[in-house]
Structure 1
Amino acid sequence: MPNWCSTDYLFVGATENARRLLVDLEQAVSVDCWLVSVRKALLPESCDMDIPCRGEVSYLDDELHEVSNGLVGVRLSTVTAWCACEELMQRIADKYGLHTYYYTEEPGMEIFQTNDAEGLFFSARYMMYSEGRGCGYFEDFEEVASVIREMTGVEVRQFEDVEPMLAEWNTHSFLQVHEIEIV
């Protein structure tokens, strides 16, 4: 059984291209939300290629989102086995003349990644999980350090010090902090 990876995508581009993708995606997922079926519907020429697509569309927004400068976006989320299906999504983006931005996480393999280097759409750079507060996302380390101080009384100045400084505290409770990698 795989570890499940959750990925949020935003396909950005010209309105006509984004609208065409949204219509095609809506039609595909109305029949079957499995990515292998979406691939067959949107990229039939790729069916003989070895492109990972083990998972499903877990959410498809039913409207276009205005992002900036006349560009719009299509929001989509997937749940996949082990890691994001980046190659599949990139091929879809290429076919429709769009650019894809994403955030993906798979905690079991400690995958926390985004390709949004400028933080335009996925601005979080740290993810924190604790027993008491659940999951939280932060744009800078100062926010993370403030929450750690509030929860534990431990003063942390840089990300590299989080794990060793919280080792003793984590024997009594549970707190994890992950840096989101830019890929």
Structure 2
Amino acid sequence: MCLVSKSDNREGKVGKKFALSYGIEAAKHNVLLLTDADCKPTSPDWIRLMQEKIVGGVEIGLGYSPYLQEKGFLNTFIRYETLQTAIQYLSFALWGIPYMGVGRNIIYQKSLYYKVGGFKSHEHVASGDDDLFINATAHLNNTTIIIDRRTFVLSEPKRTWKKIFPSKV
């Protein structure tokens, strides 16, 4: 684990991409397993099961991160939209056309990050540390999907419509 504070930022960059870049550069190993602070793996075997898939020429593993089930229409909508998105990006990856992943549950090789210059191609975009990076790096031969239930990472859902829209626009 790597804690990044604003005082560590000598380049004046902001946001999640800066923090991730800082952590990736500090990482001692080549395999990077990423999630968000509000996420919780469904199994104590999550790390091992995700890491086992990064073998041979596989450089990227796309995981699934459902939202916790709660009462109400908003939660049902969030979980449906998340499932629909996952079915889409995981299916395309299965067909050999990987185009995105979610940062809540993704694994890739540090060497791949350096091979493409990190987040440089989309550093001007506030988001994209997950989907834009995967779109730029993933292909038929270097990407796998990881859908064992024990590799799922549960995420805290937004609780108001107002909080959902900025992340979807």
TM over 0.5: same fold?
no
Name which one, 1 or 2, has greater alpha-carbon Rg: 1
Q: Judging by fraction of residues, say which structure has more strand.
A: 1
What TM-score range do you get, normalising by the shorter chain? under 0.3
TM (normalized to structure 1)?
A: 0.24
TM (normalized to structure 2)?
A: 0.26
